[in-house]
Structure 1
């Protein structure tokens, strides 16, 4: 069986130039007034990304956070940008308690259904499972969601994308997850800018998604190039991904930005100049297509 990437318009063998972690739609009770819920603005971000040479965007917005699944296929067809949608569950503070009470007992089943049958009545199938760790460890909620993600990944082959709270607990996540590290994409390691932690995660075989620039976490963006350099010089360029992680309307490229276009207009040229075109091609093209591929049932 051939591995493919599950996009919102169907399974494909590759993604092309990819923003490996971003959000077109996102709504959380923890971020009142900062919703990403404008379809026209989402279309504008995708159009700008395509104009800059982008081919695909992976949205890490999981269930219950306004992921806009019903709008994603049309946006993909209109802009020519492939989109990968997520199932999964974020940290508890993003949800109303009644929603957690309803979904927690059947998380693995719910994740599996959204990966194989579709999200609600939309028919849009998710292509990854997004969950989260805790701060310097794994709390009860994190353990429950990680356990469900591992079960769904085992059943479907789907990759697991992990929000690392403040960039911490990457080793704990990999130790806990009962899947091969190659099925795991770790996000936000630049927010805990310890070079050895990022290199060790890549050395274990996990994909490391460095997802700056992010306006909400600009304090550590200046370490992005240091971490990138350390991972590549340690011999783990094949485990490296980049994403824009736009989580608020203010951070869109059409507002104050920088938005996902920054990855292609600023970061990729630096990568090509510093390490050559082969490394840039691997990080933006080859690696995402490996990281998000599965032999779907």
Structure 2
């Protein structure tokens, strides 16, 4: 049986995704980023169109519940540019939400995730293709633990992959201890995001050995040793036999982020100098097809 990925236009065979931006945002808003929301349909269209013109085939939007996903806009954007889009359910760190929203969903979190995965998000009829949750800085607080328990329950019910925001790239092993060690999620169903933001090669190696997918996503910011260490980090993992664990994404979160075309226009050729074109293509095509398949 051919494995399938849940896109906003329905299920697509995993081997039909093409080049994948494994973690990005067409729409997102947060009270932590006042005035920097991504909410303009025209901007999203321009970004998706540019990504497609550069050979992009699929964008995975990690924007979870309550953060301005604008899911109703996604099918038309996907259809109009011929680029697959995958939407997310899930819940981010508590700081990204009003307290009232957290109280409203806390007692029905598993039900919310399952509904959005199986029936659709709100009245849109669009079903989510992954569950997005988040850890804390070098650990897991009560909110992260509660949210990940609900994500694990929803995963066991549906088979959906779980994508995890790692705060500044930290806490990967704590996440795996909880999701995989305690809650029984298969490591191959877990995608760890932002590992490039903490260039700890030992942690990268341990997470890869555990069987998780490792996402290196988003351009560097002023205080992050990100871009210039990423080729070395990916090469170390590939040399150790974990090339099939690696994913790449753009993580566009504010209007001043370089944007998803940057992944193919600048990051891809830079990585090819170290890894070679064949391996970079594998990371962009074959690996995400496996990571996001149900």
- TM-score norm. by structure 2 comes to 0.95
Where does residue 184 of structure 1 map in the other structure? 190
Shift of 1:214: 4.6
**Matches of 1:93 and 1:206, distance apart in 2:** 26
How many residue pairs align between the two structures?
288
**Matches of 1:211 and 1:287, distance apart in 2:** 14
**Matches of 2:98 and 2:240, distance apart in 1:** 43
Root-mean-square deviation (CA), in Å?
1.3
Q: Which of 78, 100, 110 is 1:108 aligned to?
A: 110
Please tell me whether the aligned partners of residues 220 and 226 of structure 2 are also in contact (alpha carbons under 8 angstroms).
no
Please tell me whether the aligned partners of residues 214 and 244 of structure 1 are also in contact (alpha carbons under 8 angstroms).
no
Alpha-carbon distance change, 110 to 217 in structure 1, aligned in 2, over 3 angstroms? farther
User: What secondary structure, in the 3-state scheme, does the structure 1 residue paired with 2:145 have?
Assistant: helix
Structure 1 moving runs of 4+ over 6 Å: none
**Matches of 2:275 and 2:97, distance apart in 1:** 42
- Which 10-residue stretch deviates more, 49-58 or 259-268? 259-268
- Which 10-residue stretch deviates more, 217-226 or 74-83? 217-226
1:237-272, CA deviations, whole angstroms, 9 ceiling, x for partnerless residues?
100000000100121xxxxxx212222122222333
User: What secondary structure, in the 3-state scheme, does the structure 2 residue paired with 1:221 have?
Assistant: coil
- TM-score norm. by structure 1 comes to 0.94
User: What secondary structure, in the 3-state scheme, does the structure 2 residue paired with 1:222 have?
Assistant: coil
Please tell me whether the aligned partners of residues 18 and 56 of structure 1 are also in contact (alpha carbons under 8 angstroms).
yes
Q: Which runs of 5+ in 2 are unaligned?
A: none
Q: Which of 228, 238, 263 is 1:222 aligned to?
A: 228
Where does residue 77 of structure 1 map in the other structure? 79
Q: Which runs of 5+ in 1 are unaligned?
A: 252-257
Please tell me whether the aligned partners of residues 72 and 124 of structure 2 are also in contact (alpha carbons under 8 angstroms).
yes
User: What secondary structure, in the 3-state scheme, does the structure 2 residue paired with 1:227 have?
Assistant: helix
Q: Which of 195, 198, 207 is 2:213 aligned to?
A: 207
Show the 5 A alignment for 1:1-297.
Answer: 2-14=2-14, 15-177=17-179, 178=183, 179-215=185-221, 218-251=224-257, 258-294=258-294
- Which 10-residue stretch deviates more, 111-120 or 186-195? 186-195
Please tell me whether the aligned partners of residues 8 and 85 of structure 1 are also in contact (alpha carbons under 8 angstroms).
yes
Please tell me whether the aligned partners of residues 46 and 81 of structure 1 are also in contact (alpha carbons under 8 angstroms).
yes
